[in-house]
Amino acid sequence: MEQDDQRPLESELVKLERLARDMAAGAVLKEWTSYFDVAEPKQRGIIADDGLRNGLRKLEDGPNKKKWTEKDINYYSVPLLTSLGYLERGERGDPRMVEGYRGTFEIRSFQITQKAFDLLSKPKTPPPVFISYKRSESSAFALYIESRLKRVGVQNPFIDKDIHIGDEWESVIEERVRGAEYFVCLIGNGTLNSKWVKKEITWAHKAGCKIMSVLHNGVSNEPKDESDDEAKTIAEQLEKLELHKWQLRRVQEESALEYETAANFLLSAMGYPTN
């Protein structure tokens, strides 16, 4: 798939997640129940529960701006939310055939799943994130972290590939660091010797960013013995840059599983569920 086609796809997935979150929130607030009927479930999937349907239509996304349209709620959203795991079939004597002005149609009960309720513990507004790394050491890892952040709805993680030709690099990077809530530092061999990485860390401290570091590519801050000078140096550098005061994790080996574990560590620290 071409990259330009990816943006509307990601936007639609984020919209479906927001809809699932609002459905779960209304159920928790007892504005509607977690069970509801759906007409034509194998086709468009029209919500037949007046409380849920009308409640969603009343939500606003700003002054005089409706958050959800009839199309958002009823045109294929139920089948898609079911496929994504936010809804599941209920058990209330299904299916039932009902006579309507357009003829006979099928009704099934659905319920909001635990996965949808888990969205309520996730930040409502995605936080700005800056990813600091040394290209020769951590490019693949940085791109993986960027991808995982986008998958949970963080659409603006900054990674230096986003700088355009002609931009003033230093001013752009400093501005983005200062605007970040979370500063993620990926530390490989020689990363903490990089002039740019050290500048970014200094800006992050001054801006009051929440800093998280991940050691990888065999880098460790825990000496195996007295002769382990490399680990001692890393520990000293972390202390000098004041990274040791913040959350720190080490990737044991360069594998998909370890990358995923590290990504979950970062997401959990940002308030996202990782189950």
Question: 114 with 169, same domain?
Answer: no
* pLDDT per position as a tens digit, 173-206: 999 999 999 999 999 999 999 999 999 999 999 9
For residues 179 and 229, membership in a common domain is answered with yes
* pTM of the predicted model over 0.95: no
The whole-number pLDDT of residue 102 equals 65
Q: Are residues 172 and 204 in the same domain?
A: yes
Query: In the structure, what pLDDT confidence band is assigned to residue 1 with cuts at 50, 70 and 90?
Result: very low
In a domain, 275, yes or no: no
pLDDT above 60 (res 218): yes
**Number of structural domains, the chain?**
2
Checking if the pLDDT of 5 tops 50, the result is no
Q: Could you report the per-residue pLDDT of 17-48, keeping only the tens digit for each? A: 889 999 999 999 999 999 998 887 667 788 88
pLDDT in tens, 116-173: 998 888 777 788 999 999 999 999 999 999 999 988 878 778 987 756 545 578 888 9
Considering the domain architecture, whether residues 37 and 152 belong to the same structural domain is answered as: no
Say if CB 56 and CB 23 are below 8 A apart: yes
Whether 7 and 102 map to the same domain: the answer is yes
Q: Which of 81, 99, 121 is the last residue of a domain?
A: 121
- Please give the residue range of the domain that contains residue 178: 129-269
Q: Is residue 29 part of a domain?
A: yes
Distance from chain centroid for Cα 194: 29
Domain assignment present for residue 274? The answer is no
- Given a cut of 80, is residue 53 above it in pLDDT? yes
pLDDT reported for residue 81: 94
